[in-house]
Chains A and B, each alone.
Chain A
């Protein structure tokens, strides 16, 4: 490597036509990215656009050879075979889920895998000296011996950065660094990034919080559907949030939805003043004073970015299966319901199709018929004995009516494609005959054809007079399917738009703004004291 060249070249990183395919999916197609030395470069895009995949290619998580295209870093074509190789070159990625060991101390975490040794024995004196210095650089005033689990997420994030600095990082990649942080921690982190920039460290930041990006980024590359759409220079192009949103959602709506005439009736399901605490973190709320209602025959969408609290809201309503219930009321047909367990929720006529099919929705060891009846075994059993014939015929009926593609209902669900798995899950909930059906990311990981069919099923359920709630990260999907859309940001409902008035831009604005956010921290403390906060 010619070091002279490195200094004179303002481009530290160039990714040239990167294409990365997973079985059946093209996650990245011909993406190119140029990052100038010493700048903060933001990457924006919707969930699933390919941002994280691109960073994984860069950092060697997906090693050389599993993608096509070139990574030119410091004027050299790089062939990283793992993360260690990219770190040796000075590229450090800090993931959204922090990679720290909670039981170890700050110091031990900083030097994990990189311990200063003297004849094979760790030199803790040196480690302590260096960690104190590193902590000062990131502005973290903590004893290096404090266990990681005793400091908050914001400080943990700083430890990650200190760890990266210790590896003499030249290019720092932060994936959603402020997603889990509160405002003051976020601000501190952003200031730190500007400070690092002053020291000549280049950063790439992935974030959904567009105001932050606007504040610190020099350039922004927008990725959409696995393609790099454009690169904007914040100062020269006068970029603001609206401009970024336009780039992010700029695709045209195809006619991907079956025709549907909604037959909307009275309010069937209503949730009022819903407050739920985080299952582990004492004073953090995942739902803040949320109120919403759904009418008979109505499809209501919930829009929000990942981690905004959509799933948390749905699951806490569905028999308190997530978080610590603090306060709030659920009504069906005007009557208040007590839903303390999933069983009660199902018996009261609720159904919840989970976001993550494989880890929450399905027992992958089961076959189609066992899955279909698994939420309503009572209906096919007599004296607690399952009637295998009824099970078979029920499953067969749904297989035919939903057109699930499988050789028989005795096929294991693990062998089915995503779309067919989702149909089996839908069948399972349809068999419980719910009045209120909540669908969390019903079409994630499903191809377009199967999506269309699933939209049809959802609309049919609404036509039967059910109240349907659809949670989705895909705005076009929500816009195409819903009669009304609520937006959620940081656990609070920030707005509701009717079908006619909603657009991707207006939704995105509500999904990324703190407008109308809930109560000051004082109430949070009070709420946490209420009984029933033990999980």
Chain B
């Protein structure tokens, strides 16, 4: 169990969320009589939520650094409408439009980052203002009209991977991606285990690793199968692919790079970070700028999916993204959170949304349920922290895990060492 926990960031709430996600999927699969885990539905789920998940990636970095961004929905809508106009009125090709859109996102982010980092205005205020400014700008620039985008631009929001290779009855590129993912997971796990062994760090028992790999690879392969066996012409969706790349890139940045360390340091203890030479203003600036860049991307994907930009695009997205991040284990006070956790948090919300829809539950009840899930997820964590106990899921898992008993022994002996030595 500890090994599994480690893989997903070692955060109890996050770990619980994986179980919650699996439980939700199973629950809906049973109660929708198999309509949840169909190719069409899963593809739909990814297509319809990828932009929220992309926002969650940016948002978790903002929240780790101790800020918040309320403007993402408006920024997404503004970038979306601008890009639509660039393509329609200036006649730029779609890829130039995308580049311009990303550039615009960076500019907006620099604007917000400037106020947050260098003037020292709380991000809540700056982005609340941004929420109004860019919503208004979206409606001003687009004259509150719907602006259609051409078919090739729609590819980034609703496209599928091309078919090639032998006719296998499956979508070949999807299968290829799935197999590569499995290979990558196995390779990196074995590599990190070897390294840990070489350095003399503690490694979990072999069977734990094998079980973990079987579970993860099984899940990947099953998902691959679902995506590859949809109706002809469909595959793993393009927005899903963009999302996957972003998860890898930002997961890497946040956990393995200097700037990633600095983000956690600033959020965890700004004063300590500054006294260690971290330029906290620069970090805050970059984090806010990056958020608007991703918001711009999300806006464009949404426009591509809905074939047109409109005046009410992106309304309420900020709240979905923030909810995903907090369900995924981030702390309001900053310093805590992971990219992958936020994605899981976002998926929990997405599956909940989707499953309730399939069950025919109305939008009214769906919102109530989603609100309660957010509250309970965080309350659960807060309660556990104040009580100094493990999560219920952690307690349930105790019986399944041999390594837990060993762990208990280790901690007591450590305490003895400290107290006798002290």
Contacts and interface: CB of A to CB of B under 8 A. Distances in A.
Tell me if chain B binds chain A: yes
A345 B274 CA distance: 12
B265 A321 contact: no
Interface in B244-268: 256-262, 264-265, 268
Interface in A403-441: 405-408, 410-411, 416-417, 419-420, 428
A377 B276 CA distance: 10
B414 A363 contact: no
A450 B277 CA distance: 27
Nearest to A409: B201
B183 interface: no
A342 interface: yes
Contacts of A407: 410-411, 414, 417
B277 A385 contact: no
Contacts of A66: none
A343 to B, nearest CB: 4
Given A365-B264, A419-B422, A354 B275 contact: yes
Band of interface residues on B: 20 to 34
B119 interface: no
A415 B279 CA distance: 27
A386 B418 contact: no
A360 B421 CA distance: 26
B271 interface: yes
Contacts of A381: 257-258
Given A384-B257, A386-B261, A406-B414, A346 B272 contact: no
Contact of B279 (A343, A389, A393, A416): A343
A374 B200 CA distance: 22
Interface residues of A, number: 48
A389 B199 contact: yes
A447 interface: yes
A374 B265 contact: yes
A137 to B, nearest CB: 41
Given A360-B275, A363-B273, A375-B276, A388 B256 contact: yes
Interface SS majority for chain A: mixed
A342 B277 contact: yes
B205 interface: no
B83 interface: no
A420 B415 CA distance: 13
B272 A360 contact: yes
Interface string A346-370: 1100001010000111111110001
A351 to B, nearest CB: 10
Nearest to A362: B272
B272 A447 contact: no
Interface string B193-209: 00100011110000000
Contacts of B411: 407
Given A321-B274, A386-B257, A428-B276, A364 B269 contact: yes
B279 A341 contact: yes
A214 interface: no
B189 to A, nearest CB: 15
Interface SS majority for chain B: helix
Contact of A396 (B199, B202, B264, B269): B199
B239 interface: no
A410 B201 contact: yes
A417 B201 CA distance: 22
Contacts of A386: 256-258, 260-261
A381 to B, nearest CB: 5
A362 B272 CA distance: 6
A252 B291 CA distance: 61
Contact of A392 (B199, B260, B335, B417): B199
B422 A449 contact: yes
Contacts of A345: 277
A347 B279 CA distance: 13
A417 B422 contact: yes
A9 B297 CA distance: 81
Nearest to B414: A407
Given A360-B271, A361-B275, A396-B199, A417 B261 contact: no
A281 B249 CA distance: 46
A426 to B, nearest CB: 13
Interface in B146-193: none
B331 to A, nearest CB: 8
Nearest to A341: B279
A253 to B, nearest CB: 23
A365 B272 contact: no
12 contacts: A343-B277, A343-B279, A345-B277, A354-B275, A360-B271, A360-B272, A377-B258, A378-B258, A386-B257, A392-B199, A396-B199, A405-B417
Interface of A: 315, 318-319, 321, 341-343, 345-347, 352, 354, 359-366, 370, 374-375, 377-378, 381, 384-386, 388-389, 392-393, 396, 405-408, 410-411, 416-417, 419-420, 428, 447, 449-450
Interface of B: 195, 199-202, 256-262, 264-265, 268-269, 271-279, 335-336, 410-411, 414, 417-418, 421-422
Those 9 A-B pairs whose CB atoms lie nearest each other, nearest first: A363-B268, A375-B276, A363-B269, A343-B277, A365-B268, A346-B277, A407-B414, A365-B335, A377-B258
